[in-house]
Structure 1
């Protein structure tokens, strides 16, 4: 990119004051990062408004300002570009700045309430095992072949996305698998990306604190499919009641997958145990290391995408059996002496928690207890809390309600909200222990031979956020340490 004019391609501009023929250095939406001759894009955020930092950006050397409202005081030599939506403008500017890297490789987006991380990560694993140069943009990490970069958001900001996709292209990457969250779509972080495929996993109750209604949440997800080009393909879980909705008016070629319905790609569960799933996919037997019906859907989606990307069918099925479970997704540990199973799972929605508990109950012998440790995040959708409590109590023998990431809420008040959903006949199962480590410790203490401990909600996270501070906290490390201490 040489000039402002070059970088503004596809941006819907309402007014300009100053010259767009100026050259520039970098693009930022954080005024603290601005340097000489940079472009500052003023974003209206949840906690602060970038428009309040325009003067600061100019003082630090910004040569151009992209904003939704012109500031009262304009500085000579600085170009001011007014747009209707700066998030949208940032998305196109980011893509232009990095020379539209997503158009130079195959970009596959995965969306849905549950399964995004698993499907995108398993696709990355499969293609890597098959020898392809690949990239991954997920909740847990960003990977360029074997090099790892940390991330804190399901869908990073558009500048970060394009930066990494550009880096992936420079490293010879052919396929990029990317989680696409509803927040990311709504905040235009994925706008302007050239997706070659989109996958829909499922839809259930989540993020209603942000989207307000289930219909709004669903419609935001659908935008990913609405924006696909004709040469792309879309694949949806047709067993989910929202699956067919995602494909309505989609210009791309459309396909379906299912365990229960008629679909283009079908699988059957032959056996489900703590050692893994035995599936039949297209009349081929596949033994895998992942567990649970929900993972049968995830594996089938992975197989279908690989097939639609023209990978060899038998090779794909062979390597499907070698894929490793994703960190914090039904991650399983068994104590050496008393055979106590500990499962750590990211289940933080009612549907995900129900799936995990139903999986455990379908595998167990009924001669052991299922002890569930669960909480709910603070400053998030409060309406799902009683539902989580009801499900945990219904499908467990013993439940310990505790803190998740309370953030800026009182954890005791969050636990009270969860308790509201527990039905009268299950009240005797409930303990409430606010301190998460104490809750896990208690679960280990009260467990006996062959019992199953589920620790739900945080999964892969290695921190706990309390009053704006993140401290080290790893569910799996903690449960292992207490089981080794108490159950030698």
Structure 2
């Protein structure tokens, strides 16, 4: 593709060299450069692409997009100076792949909790309705029936547009995409045309990346500010930040809620381990998912599906067929009657929601044992908060490793323990090895007791000192309970 066509709508500050050259492909990783490529020098949190411009040229790059021009310019290389290389990459990626987001209906879901569940269940629902559907989520990427591994909540711009191009080429009608605050801040969604946006909620998360909660909120808001006039903006107004998201959007403004007045309203009639009975806009539906947080998720799904053109009665029928998402309140019951629940809850709000859901469905004649850890190299302020929630709302709390990454897991657990109130201290125990912590929970549990294993959910690995080890919470607890039953 010709460079000048790839640069369409890119905010350019200076050009040195011809733009009528042909570009083979674009890369922001210098190691992937081959002859005839364009290299985009991104300033990342770990490294600066400007340091690798010469390497990229030596490997065959014929064009360089950067924020600061090198002191020495190479002959036969075109240099494009831009204010934001990340924004330029996103616009260029959309152009390079033929702006595929315009050829299907792309819906973005953002918020602290619920993104994966809503995106995945919308994918399931529209697929079951007979449409070719795509999914870009934390758990996996789906191009119609073909599954690909996901590495980020919101992939980089090139990856997003490459998969969207593949979806369009395979006749996909709808795509549902998780939109993280990192992705918005780093312009990964720039250049995409969304048919709709959904806001779930906002709570304590990612303050290791964002300087304040206000910045975190405003980054989320930017997604709605940039929605086109023909799109819809659907927000949860039981969260005080919901209306903030709508303040400057040009999109059609829609609201949903369980507690307050909204365009889409739901009421929980029954909440059991077997499912929920909901009344949505005066129509009842039984669903297989559990808990108030899932009532919010399902209400958002209903509203989005109706606004994407499906009949309301058909949407309710399809909702009744939906299955829970991997690692989201996924549970098994052992032969001895012990219930083990695995959930991705890795923020204070998410952990509190899961424990409140368990509180609502339990009889209180059983013991609730929670296994929880916090990630390393991430926001440290939520560690004591999560430990306080776990120890307050559980009969026993076992603090363990999550993904310690480069940190010492003992230090992480010590940070957590600072949040335990004196009256709850005897209910807690620390066990660094996550498998042994789950085994202890199973050994402590008696028939009819409930074990919650929180923090990793769908993840099938642990990252320790830069190395990833196979680890699946559901597989581990299933094996241990099976051994104890023998």
Which secondary structure state, in structure 2, belongs to the residue aligned with residue 123 of structure 1?
A: helix
- Deviation of 1:278 (Å): 1.0
- Deviation of 1:24 (Å): 1.4
Matches within 5 A, 1:421-460: 421-460=419-458
- Deviation of 1:312 (Å): 1.2
Which secondary structure state, in structure 2, belongs to the residue aligned with residue 402 of structure 1?
A: strand
- Deviation of 1:70 (Å): 1.0
1:43 matched residue in structure 2 = 42
Is residue 202 of structure 1 aligned with residue 163 of structure 2? Answer: no
Of residues 381, 386, 389 in structure 1, which corresponds to 2:387? 389
Matches within 5 A, 1:51-66: 51-66=50-65
Q: Give the whole-Å Cα distance in 2 for the aligned partners of 1:212 and 1:36.
A: 40
Q: Give the whole-Å Cα distance in 2 for the aligned partners of 1:20 and 1:4.
A: 5
2:265 matched residue in structure 1 = 266
Which secondary structure state, in structure 2, belongs to the residue aligned with residue 382 of structure 1?
A: coil
Which secondary structure state, in structure 2, belongs to the residue aligned with residue 245 of structure 1?
A: helix
- Deviation of 1:304 (Å): 0.3
- Deviation of 1:285 (Å): 1.7
Which secondary structure state, in structure 1, belongs to the residue aligned with residue 451 of structure 2?
A: strand
Is residue 76 of structure 1 aligned with residue 75 of structure 2? Answer: yes
- Deviation of 1:309 (Å): 1.1
Cα deviation digits, residues 94-121 of structure 1 (max 9, x gap): 0000010001110100000000000010
Q: Give the whole-Å Cα distance in 1 for the aligned partners of 2:74 and 2:245.
A: 47
- Deviation of 1:44 (Å): 0.8
- Deviation of 1:83 (Å): 0.7
Is residue 136 of structure 1 aligned with residue 135 of structure 2? Answer: yes
2:303 matched residue in structure 1 = 304
CA RMSD after TM alignment: 0.7
Q: Give the whole-Å Cα distance in 2 for the aligned partners of 1:475 and 1:274.
A: 20
- Deviation of 1:324 (Å): 0.6
Q: Give the whole-Å Cα distance in 2 for the aligned partners of 1:482 and 1:44.
A: 46
Which secondary structure state, in structure 2, belongs to the residue aligned with residue 208 of structure 1?
A: coil
- Deviation of 1:282 (Å): 2.0
Which secondary structure state, in structure 2, belongs to the residue aligned with residue 167 of structure 1?
A: helix
Q: Give the whole-Å Cα distance in 2 for the aligned partners of 1:25 and 1:250.
A: 37
Matches within 5 A, 1:163-312: 163-312=162-311
Which secondary structure state, in structure 1, belongs to the residue aligned with residue 138 of structure 2?
A: coil
Of residues 334, 337, 340 in structure 1, which corresponds to 2:338? 340
- Deviation of 1:4 (Å): 1.0
2:348 matched residue in structure 1 = 350
Cα deviation digits, residues 217-247 of structure 1 (max 9, x gap): 0000001100011111100001011111110
Of residues 477, 480, 485 in structure 1, which corresponds to 2:478? 480
- Deviation of 1:315 (Å): 1.0
- Deviation of 1:73 (Å): 2.1
Cα deviation digits, residues 384-428 of structure 1 (max 9, x gap): 000001000110000000000000001000000001001111011
When normalised by structure 2's length, the TM-score is: 0.99
Which secondary structure state, in structure 1, belongs to the residue aligned with residue 209 of structure 2?
A: helix
Which secondary structure state, in structure 1, belongs to the residue aligned with residue 94 of structure 2?
A: helix
2:26 matched residue in structure 1 = 27
Which secondary structure state, in structure 2, belongs to the residue aligned with residue 455 of structure 1?
A: strand
2:145 matched residue in structure 1 = 146
- Deviation of 1:487 (Å): 2.7
Is residue 321 of structure 1 aligned with residue 302 of structure 2? Answer: no
1:106 matched residue in structure 2 = 105
Which secondary structure state, in structure 2, belongs to the residue aligned with residue 14 of structure 1?
A: strand
Cα deviation digits, residues 418-447 of structure 1 (max 9, x gap): 010011110110000000000001000110
Give the gaps of 5 or more residues in structure 2.
none
- Deviation of 1:166 (Å): 0.5
When normalised by structure 1's length, the TM-score is: 0.99
Q: Give the whole-Å Cα distance in 2 for the aligned partners of 1:172 and 1:350.
A: 40
Q: Give the whole-Å Cα distance in 2 for the aligned partners of 1:257 and 1:392.
A: 29
Q: Give the whole-Å Cα distance in 2 for the aligned partners of 1:252 and 1:281.
A: 24
Q: Which moved more, 1:447-456 or 1:64-73?
A: 64-73
Give the gaps of 5 or more residues in structure 1.
none
- Deviation of 1:43 (Å): 0.6
- Deviation of 1:153 (Å): 0.3
Q: Give the whole-Å Cα distance in 1 for the aligned partners of 2:32 and 2:322.
A: 40
Which secondary structure state, in structure 2, belongs to the residue aligned with residue 387 of structure 1?
A: helix
Which secondary structure state, in structure 2, belongs to the residue aligned with residue 255 of structure 1?
A: strand
- Deviation of 1:191 (Å): 0.8
Q: Give the whole-Å Cα distance in 1 for the aligned partners of 2:388 and 2:240.
A: 23
Q: Give the whole-Å Cα distance in 2 for the aligned partners of 1:10 and 1:162.
A: 16
Q: Give the whole-Å Cα distance in 1 for the aligned partners of 2:52 and 2:72.
A: 13
Q: Give the whole-Å Cα distance in 2 for the aligned partners of 1:211 and 1:371.
A: 33
- Deviation of 1:167 (Å): 0.3
